[in-house]
Amino acid sequence: MLLNLFFRCSCGLARLRRVERLAWMRLFPALRLYRCTVCGKKQLAPKQAAETARVSARATNARASSTAVRQGVVAGGM
């Protein structure tokens, strides 16, 4: 079970949400405990990497929706 926490799921870091760590996990101060919102797997990952992936995913989604809105406005205006 312990080793499973160090292996990541294939869903990606952007889909991870923080979970409170157990006391022994504080031996790894650079790692935080996360749970994947897709598959439910718990995993330890660097805080910086998870937050960077989440911000990047939000920016990509915002750009995609912004582009879709602009295309809809252009198509609707014709």
pLDDT at residue 68 greater than cutoff 90: no
Separation of alpha carbons 69 and 36, rounded Å = 30
pLDDT classification of 3: cutoffs 50, 70, 90: low
pLDDT of residue 73: 53
pLDDT of residue 67: 63
pLDDT of residue 51: 84
pLDDT classification of 64: cutoffs 50, 70, 90: low
List CB contacts of 75: < 8 A, sequence separation 6 or more: none
Separation of alpha carbons 78 and 56, rounded Å = 33
| pTM for this model (two decimals) | 0.67
Asked if residue 33 lies in contact with residue 42, where contact means CB atoms within 8 angstroms, the answer is yes
pLDDT at residue 69 greater than cutoff 60: no
* Mean of per-residue pLDDT scores for the chain: 80
